[in-house]
Amino acid sequence: MIISSKAIMKNLYCCFFCMFILSYINFSYSQTNQSSANRPNILFIISDDHAYQEIGVYGSKIAKTPNIDRIAKEGAIFRNSFVTNSICGPSRATLLTGKYSHLNGYKANEGKFVDQPTFPKVLQQSNYQTAWIGKMHLGSLPKGFDYFNILPGQGMYYNPDFIENGDTTRIEGYVTNVITKLTTDWLDKRDKTKPFCLVVGEKATHREWLPDIQDLGAFDNVEFPLPSTFFDDYKGRIAAANNDMTIDKTMLLKGDLKIHNDNTTGVYRRLTGNQKKAYEDYYGKISKEFDEKNLSGESLAKWKYQRYMRDYLSTAKSLDRNIGHILDYLDNKGLAKNTVVIYVSDQGFYMGEHGWFDKRWMYEESLRTPFVMRYPGVIKPGTFIDKFAVNIDWAPTILDIAGAKVPQDMQGVSLLPLFNSNGKNTAWRNEVYYHYYEYPRPHRVSPHFGIRTDRYKLICFYGEKKAWELFDLQKDPRELNNLYDKTENAKTIAQLKERLLRQIKKYNDDEALQIFEKSQSLPT
């Protein structure tokens, strides 16, 4: 058989080409494996309505949160962490998209989150395994997650239903314990060839504050000091005066504080067996004491405040213990070193300040949210960050940790540069832009937008109650003294309005732009 030299050369070329392709595939494969092994896992825990004032590392002397404190001590605490729209669903929509509510479309609770680009979809393209377990509350099933097991809507504290990849099942037990079990089960069964990004959505510490049975009465021996603004008269703040969220008038004795709750309706209707007995015993005794006291007026408001604090902090204690279990799991499985742990709440919460519970306002207690983060090898233990972090930054930060490209239309920025010398030399934002919408239900908080700088806060209320408010946070940290009408502040107000307008334009908030322009002709 005669083979021409031309044919030999052709075969050789083919061989070389095949070898090149094979070696390229092999190279790419080993590169992917290598980078997968090195890329950190991300565990993002988002609780609900957990007030920073009630967390140890944020200064609480009473709350028991050793595990949240541990994340901060082994990593960083953000001491100026804010949200863009202080309610549950909108905060989670912002987490997913890295965008303000007016761009992701989820402005108020009980809406339906429309499918759109989100951070988990980018992570999936980067070969991350993605999952969401627990509360999501976005009115549609999660997209971009390889696995999900979520509470329908708000979910129940006891024996809750869960939707696992589309199928609903009732799971016996206390919700926070169940979420921890589902979390560790998923971590056990996950695809271990890929790094993971897991969001744990906690129901606690949402209204109506039901603790695990072992924590019932955990704070009964504590007399909580009444906040100095508890009997606020809302002078000079007409939107605040119009509120429907006081502990005194709005908080329900039966529904919220479980006084004479009949167990067939209301917050703990799903209790069974020992759960039911423990709740009946505990709140039965309190209901009896309540009847004997025969309270009214200020003394009733003060009594409700004590009961609120006790139930809330007991629920937070159950939450913190479960966070400890998840941290222990990471330790025991050798995952702690290569897993970034972030703990946030979806927003802040009022613990009696201004007489309130709930959130929504651009005032400090609800504008701020706790945010602690542990990243071994990158964040020095005991780091504190004072630069302004906003919840639009959460998605870009997660993507940056994963080494994935942050989409250009995300409005936040990665927080990782702040860990170089605590961010001292990093150029950063000097103001936070805020916009709240939901009105009038459930708490009659007028829609508003505004900016917070290191010293001032300027707010435009534009609903039924139209007003501007200006606070000097240095002189008046409790925001009681609205300075907007004081003529000596005209220059400060003009400068702040310019800064506000720049923020409105920067974040493409067309609705706010129209209102802002119109408001210049409003009586002040």
Stretch of 48-56, 295-303, 476-484, 514-522 lying at the interface with Ca ion (CB under 5 A): 48-56
Q: Which amino acid, 239?
A: A
The DSSP symbol for 375 reads -
CA 140 to chain centre: 19
The whole-angstrom separation of Cα 317 and Cα 323 is 10
Task: Decide whether 275 or 347 has the Cβ nearer to Ca ion.
Answer: 347
Residue 345: CB minimum distance to Ca ion, A: 7
Residue 88: CB minimum distance to Ca ion, A: 4
Residue 89: CB minimum distance to Ca ion, A: 8
Which residue's structure tokens are 């007003």? 467
Task: Decide whether 75 or 155 has the Cβ nearer to Ca ion.
Answer: 155
Q: Count interface residues toward Ca ion (CB under 5 A).
A: 4
- Selected from 48, 232, 320, 358, the binder of Ca ion by CB under 5 A is 48
Pattern 73-102, Ca ion, x by CB under 5 A: ---------------x--------------
Pattern 295-334, Ca ion, x by CB under 5 A: ----------------------------------------
Residue 344: CB minimum distance to Ca ion, A: 11
300 contacts: CB under 8 Å, gap ≥ 6: 248
Residue nearest to Ca ion (CB): 88
The whole-angstrom separation of Cα 43 and Cα 201 is 11
Burial 34-52 (b: 16+ CB within 10 A, else e): eeeeebbbbbbbbbbbbbb
The whole-angstrom separation of Cα 482 and Cα 83 is 22
- Selected from 46, 49, 178, 456, the binder of Ca ion by CB under 5 A is 49
208 binds Ca ion (CB under 5 A): no
Positions in 332-391 near Ca ion (CB under 5 A)? 346
Positions in 128-187 near Ca ion (CB under 5 A)? none
The whole-angstrom separation of Cα 313 and Cα 420 is 35
Task: Decide whether 308 or 456 has the Cβ nearer to Ca ion.
Answer: 308
The whole-angstrom separation of Cα 195 and Cα 446 is 44
Which residue's structure tokens are 């702690």? 336
Residue 346: CB minimum distance to Ca ion, A: 4
Stretch of 40-48, 150-158, 304-312, 378-386 lying at the interface with Ca ion (CB under 5 A): 40-48
The values of phi and psi at residue 246, to 5°, are: -85, 150
Asked if 29 and 327 touch (Cβ cutoff 8 Å), the reply is no
The whole-angstrom separation of Cα 85 and Cα 108 is 9
In the complex, the residues that contact Ca ion under the rule CB under 5 A are 48-49, 88, 346
